Amino acid sequence: MSLIVNNLVSGYGRLRVLQEVSMEIAPGTVASVVGANGAGKSTLALTLSGLLRATSGTIELDGTPIQRMAPEKRAGLGLIHVPEGRRLFGGLTVAENIAMGRHAVGRRKGDDVVESLLDSFPVLRERWGQRAGLLSGGEQQMVALTRAAASQPRYLLLDEPSLGLSPRLSFEVFRLISMITEQTGAGVLLIEQRVDAALELATEAHVLEHGAVVASGPSHEIRSSDAVRKAYLGA
């Protein structure tokens, strides 16, 4: 039971971005994908969620091939994408945004972890009746993650969750991701520019360079290898 990506190729028109990418994300683990801007990280998330069509290769969700499925069908199977920029409904309250995550569960059964998350992150409960568009960037990201958790995900695709946040708020976001992983048992693909924090949180890590995976392994090994330095500095 895993999210298995095998020789995945995709891009934009004639521009090929992903170069036969392969990786596996196990339930209850965090797999971090790191690399410089333009390495193909967001393209990977878009392709896995179905917002971008794969040219070739396969994607299996717990044994089910999904590479030809529409995005909503993938979401219905529990593959939830939290894109860069949060994408909340700004005119709706925090409660209403999170309720939409609960509504997306459909036929999937599982425990609702929202109350536990609200207990651990009381700022969400304090903002419960406020419109999401009036919240700070960090608060909006917490709402986006809680909404994803409310949908009882099997796998989460998180694209730059700390983008634009201060170190303090980034710490809180990473703490929330850790709690969601533990309480939902979801496998998490974490795309993140704060490399050190991402590798500290992750179990496994993959380094992307020019659309290809140039290193994979336990995050503590990747953290101490030359692969990250080469991917970011080209040296």
Q: Note the pLDDT of residue 229.
A: 74
The CA distances from residue 145 to 18, 123, 161, in Å, are 26, 14, 9
pLDDT above 90 (res 85): no
Q: Note the pLDDT of residue 107.
A: 47
Average pLDDT score over residue span 23-38: 95
Token pair belonging to 230: 């080469």
Count the alpha carbons within 13 Å of 111 in the hemisphere toward its beta carbon.
10
Tens-digit pLDDT profile for residues 218-233: 999 998 888 777 776 5
Distance CA 34, CA 205 (A): 8
Instruction: Tell me the residue type at 210.
Output: H
The CA distances from residue 165 to 11, 98, 161, 173, 195, in Å, are 29, 21, 9, 9, 14
Tens-digit pLDDT profile for residues 156-181: 999 999 988 999 999 999 999 999 99
Distance CA 163, CA 144 (A): 13
pTM: 0.90
Domains of the chain with CATH codes: 3-233 (3.40.50.300)
Distance CA 100, CA 131 (A): 14
pLDDT above 70 (res 21): yes
